[in-house]
Amino acid sequence: MHIKFAEYMQFSTQEILFAFGLTLFAGLATGIGSILAFFTKSTNKKFLAVSLGFSAGVMIYVSMVEIFFKAKNALILDHGEKIGYWITIAAFFGGILIIAIIDKLIPEAENPHEMKGVEAIPKDNDPNKKLIRMGLFTALAIAIHNFPEGMATFAAGLADPSIALPIAVAIAIHNIPEGIAVSVPIYFATGNKKKAFWLSFLSGLAEPAGAIIGFLILAPFMNNTVMGILFASVAGIMVFISLDELLPSAREHGEHHLSIYGLIAGMIIMAVSLVLFV
């Protein structure tokens, strides 16, 4: 039996703060990548492959098994079985289309979906305007990508705390290489570790910013239809990120089987955690 929007979507201050805290944690993981770039001589490729595969497994499983059907159930309440299902499908692929367009508009060199390891650090320590430009554009690109990711994490936090934490951890893991991509060129152009770290750290703030702005804009209109469309779009965004970014990067950084093992492990842990917290 479906529960009406008014009965289960009345968010308390505690629930909103919890969802925002998870979003902040996920976004600021870019700072971890910045630190790793300064103090690690080489990337642990096997660990990175498993971790990125794990993140993809968590995000794909929770999107397709949990969030998509929460969206469908909410939309069916307002529009009936058939139309509600069609709106869910349209919103799901609409989310994929939005993130794909954003991805397409950003040049490959500055695109955070083109993952970089610590080995990407230039060997030349000579200040260079091109390196500064690369770092700044990468920070901007990451901010643009993190905005919808922030909405995704925040929406998951409001939808169900039991699925929110694994999603936040998965997004945080995939934000770490993005932090490397920002800090490396800035540091080697300026020689200033603090400046490189703070730019990397601040680029992650787009994630909680996306959560706040999205919530403030949508809060006055919250009902089954709005939440259903939002959740279905979020599911599409996370599936695209997993297939376009996480899995290819995992395979690049390690053996093919390691990324798949990580993927399956992520799915298993997500499935078990959903059963345990029902």
Q: Which residues constitute the domain of residue 23?
A: 14-276
C-alpha 98/C-alpha 176 separation (Å) is 23
| Digit-coded pLDDT (tens) for 25-81 | 888 888 887 787 666 555 566 777 777 788 788 888 888 988 898 889 989 999 999
Centre a 10 Å sphere on the Cβ of residue 107 and count the other Cβ atoms it contains.
Answer: 9
In a domain, 2, yes or no: no
In a domain, 5, yes or no: no
Can you tell me which residue has the tokens 């976004």?
27
- Percent of the chain scoring above 90 in pLDDT: 10
| Digit-coded pLDDT (tens) for 134-174 | 666 667 666 766 777 787 778 777 777 777 787 788 778 77
C-alpha 252/C-alpha 262 separation (Å) is 14
C-alpha 203/C-alpha 28 separation (Å) is 8
Please tell me the total count of domains within the chain.
1
Can you tell me which residue has the tokens 């595969």?
53
In a domain, 156, yes or no: yes
Q: Where are the beta strands (DSSP E) in the chain?
A: none
Question: How much is the pLDDT for 1?
Answer: 34
C-alpha 264/C-alpha 267 separation (Å) is 5
> Do 223 and 160 touch, CB atoms closer than 8 A?
no
Question: How much is the pLDDT for 8?
Answer: 40
In a domain, 140, yes or no: yes
In a domain, 257, yes or no: yes
Is the CA virtual torsion 127, 133, 136, 137 positive or negative? negative
pTM: 0.66
Question: How much is the pLDDT for 118?
Answer: 47
Q: How far is CA 91 from CA 94, 101, 111, 260, in A?
A: 5, 15, 25, 28
